[in-house]
Amino acid sequence: MITVNNTPHNYTAGMTVASLLEEKNYVFPALVVKLNGQVIEEENYAATAVNDDDIVLAIHTFAGG
């Protein structure tokens, strides 16, 4: 089990940040992802493994006015 945005989520062996975002349908153009408190750059999503018990925050950023 992992935690995504403070909600429990099933862990799958071989999961990456990219596959998790796809599974959760997080397709926002401006997204900040933190894995266990560390910011993950978008170009590293596919290569960054998500492990059992990890904590992921996917924050949709936007500008307002």
Cβ atoms of 21 and 58 within 8 Å: the answer is yes
The two tokens of residue 50 are: 């998500």
Q: Place 64 in a pLDDT band, splitting at 50, 70 and 90.
A: low
Cβ atoms of 53 and 8 within 8 Å: the answer is no
* pLDDT at residue 45 is higher than 70: yes
**Across the strands, what pairs with 60?**
31
What homologous superfamily is domain 2-60 in, according to CATH?
Answer: Beta-grasp domain (3.10.20.30)
pLDDT tens digits along 6-21: 999 999 999 999 999 9
Q: What is the pTM of this model?
A: 0.90
Q: Where are the alpha helices (DSSP H) in 1-65?
A: 17-23
Cβ atoms of 3 and 55 within 8 Å: the answer is yes
Give the whole-number percent of the chain exceeding pLDDT 70.
95
